[in-house]
Structure 1
Amino acid sequence: MAPEFSEKGLFEVLEPASQTLPLVFNSPHSGRAYPQGFVSDSRLDALSIRRSEDHFVDELFQAAPALGAPMLLAHFPRAFLDVNREPYELDPRMFEGTLPPYANVSSMRVAGGLGTVPRVVAENMEIYQRRMPVSEALDRIETIYKPYHTCLRSLIVRTHLRFGFAVLVDCHSMPGNIRIAGGQRPDFIIGDRYGTSAAGDLSRAVVRLFEDMGFVVARNKPYAGGFITEHYGRPAKGLHALQIEVNRALYVDETTLQKKPEFDAVQAGISWALSQFAGYVEKYASDSALAAE
């Protein structure tokens, strides 16, 4: 299956020359290699099927390895498989055959068509022309979802063992029509599952960094973090997980999906914020270690 997606494989880790930071970056939704068989089975055209991508987020956060932190990024598209879900959030209406008894068929995400194997892309656009064999969905989970999470878990564990502390930064984008209280359009939303996936000091530090550059920043609303943030964040054990959502209207034309002229400036702003956050995390980890002694 892998050769259909990319010569680089289903996903890859961009490693720093030497990991010097207790940070791990993850871009699970920026994959843009669409296998021809998948496109042929879809009722959507080649542009519409891309509507659920986190467009170019891997490039926006590409400074991470140079700063001294690994970055995991998907090459498979979110429309094909969503690794920011439980492994078996599946809609029985999509499939021919019987789902295994352990499948979660009643989550809000499944109801919205956004399960592990999505039924729709953005704006409720149905992906498939016909039902899919259950075996195909389970094969995607076995051959892509599980290896992806094995890799992500390995990076987090490696980081935690090396530094005694780890922060996962889950990188995403959001539609330009999102509004927050007062009708403002947020440029960034920082999610920490309402303080349960990461220490509040860490998420507040990220908020301040982007606000200092003049961006409108919200915390947890309307995006508090998905399965990855919730699953890997264990602050009491020194394992923190944050989600950063970037407003696509800042850097991409959402009709053509082409980069805007502002792309480079947004990328530079994110790179600066990451460099500042790296210093903050180093000090935070050191202070936490001293407090524990």
Structure 2
Amino acid sequence: MLISMPHNGQAIASEIANTMTETAKQVPDTDWYMDKLYDFALELGISIIKPKYSRYVIDLNRDISGVNLYPGANSTELCPTTAFDNSPLYLPQQTPSEAEISRRIEQYWQPYHQAIATTLAEMKQEFGKVVLLDAHSILSHVPRFFEGQLPDFNFGNADGKSCSDDLIEKIQQLDLSPYTSVVNGRFKGGYITRAYGDPANNIHAIQLELSQHTYMDEPSDHYNEEKATQVKLKLASFVKCLANFAK
């Protein structure tokens, strides 16, 4: 089993940061504390891949062709130019050029995806069956992307294409109370889930978008230890379900 955390990074190289607004440099749309929330997975022998650099540099969960994964819905770009609140990320006349986007694809996007592809291939060869979890989190209220409050656990498997129905059934049987959950709601899985999930070939991919109010003091980036301890019990149950399925 492999857990990917594509929006966990916070670093921005100086040559890029120099073109950005002060707000952008604070990387407010980070999937905060993913590595801390899933630290128990390492003890289970599960592999984790996470980037150093922020999604503001390049979004590792977007298609480099620029295709919108949610046609008709508002979405940020491969190299985002606005934050989730629609504020600009770049200083005037400083948005990345096509050449700069190509450079970032080569320097940041390709190595991450090569690592995922190589790891999954090695696991598949050794074990015959692999589960990939793409782990995310987001504010519970982001009017740009969805109305009202997001459910706590948002599972996505590309409307049934990226993992088997059997795995989804096992997930739906989990007791996640008192948290709310949905499958293929607003978030159906991003590029990583859709690109690598191949259930017919025994590679099962699923995305979890976790509402940040379950472990943080929204809207700040403060980690709430009491909240996190409680939700980690449910996260551990979920991850063990995936690991058992992988066996």
1:244/1:52 CA distance change after superposition, 3 Å:
same
Q: For 2:234, what is the secondary structure of its paired residue? A: helix
Q: Distance in 2 between matches of 1:173 and 1:113?
A: 16
Task: Give per-residue Cα distances to partners, 1:17-74, cap 9 Å, x unaligned.
Answer: xxxxxx1110000112233443332124267x42221111122122222212211011
Give, in angstroms, the shift of residue 113 of structure 1: 5.8
Q: Is the 8 A contact 2:84 2:142 kept in 1?
A: no
Show structure 1 runs of 5+ residues with no match.
1-22, 90-103, 283-293
Which one has the largest radius of gyration?
A: 1
Q: Is the 8 A contact 1:24 1:167 kept in 2?
A: yes
Give the one of 180, 188, 210 matched to 1:216: 180
TM-score after normalising by structure 2:
0.87
Residues 1:29 and 2:32 are matched in the alignment: no
Q: Could you say which structure has the greater relative contact order, defined with CA pairs below 8 angstroms and 6 or more residues apart?
A: 2
Please name the residue that 2:57 is paired with.
Answer: 80
Give, in angstroms, the shift of residue 111 of structure 1: 8.6
Q: For 1:154, what is the secondary structure of its paired residue? A: helix
Q: Is the 8 A contact 1:174 1:246 kept in 2?
A: yes
| Higher relative helix content | 1
Please name the residue that 1:59 is paired with.
Answer: 36
Specify the code of the residue in structure 2 equivalent to 1:187.
Answer: D
Q: Distance in 2 between matches of 1:28 and 1:212?
A: 24
1:87/1:185 CA distance change after superposition, 3 Å:
closer
TM-score after normalising by structure 1:
0.74
Q: CA RMSD in A?
A: 2.7
Please name the residue that 2:76 is paired with.
Answer: 114
1:233/1:280 CA distance change after superposition, 3 Å:
closer
Give the one of 181, 193, 199 matched to 1:229: 193
Show structure 2 runs of 5+ residues with no match.
none
1:86/1:218 CA distance change after superposition, 3 Å:
same
Q: Distance in 2 between matches of 1:73 and 1:147?
A: 11
Residues 1:42 and 2:42 are matched in the alignment: no
Q: Is the 8 A contact 1:190 1:207 kept in 2?
A: no
Give the one of 157, 160, 164 matched to 1:195: 160
